[in-house]
Amino acid sequence: MQISDDELRSLVRDAIARASRGDVTVDRAPAAFHAHASHSTLPLARGSDGDGACLIEPAVRCNHCGYCLSLGH
């Protein structure tokens, strides 16, 4: 299937608009995925919630990688 650049741009703009309105739903992963401890997150404030510094490496800004919220797996 061939698609022009303009058609592709239009599709991307529509997808971004739907996501920004909250119209996009994400299917939940299987229960076994959520049941494993390595996939859970800790109830910890991210670095960006405070002064913006990374909690793991304070010399850099938080980039929301989530490593500080995970068990390191």
Please tell me the pTM assigned to this model. 0.39
Give the count of domains, the chain: 1
The answer as to whether 26 is a domain residue is no
3-state secondary structure the chain: CCCCHHHHHHHHHHHHHHHHHCCCCCCCCCHHHHHCHHHCCCCCCCHHHCCCECCCCCCCECCCCCHHHCCCC
pLDDT in tens, 10-34: 999 988 888 788 766 655 555 555 5
The answer as to whether 7 is a domain residue is no
Q: Give the confidence band of 58 by pLDDT, cuts at 50, 70, 90.
A: confident
Q: What residues make up the domain containing 55? A: 35-73
The answer as to whether 8 is a domain residue is no
The answer as to whether 15 is a domain residue is no
The answer as to whether 65 is a domain residue is yes
The answer as to whether 18 is a domain residue is no
- Average pLDDT over the chain reads 76
Cα 13 to Cα 4: distance, rounded to the nearest angstrom: 14
The answer as to whether 24 is a domain residue is no
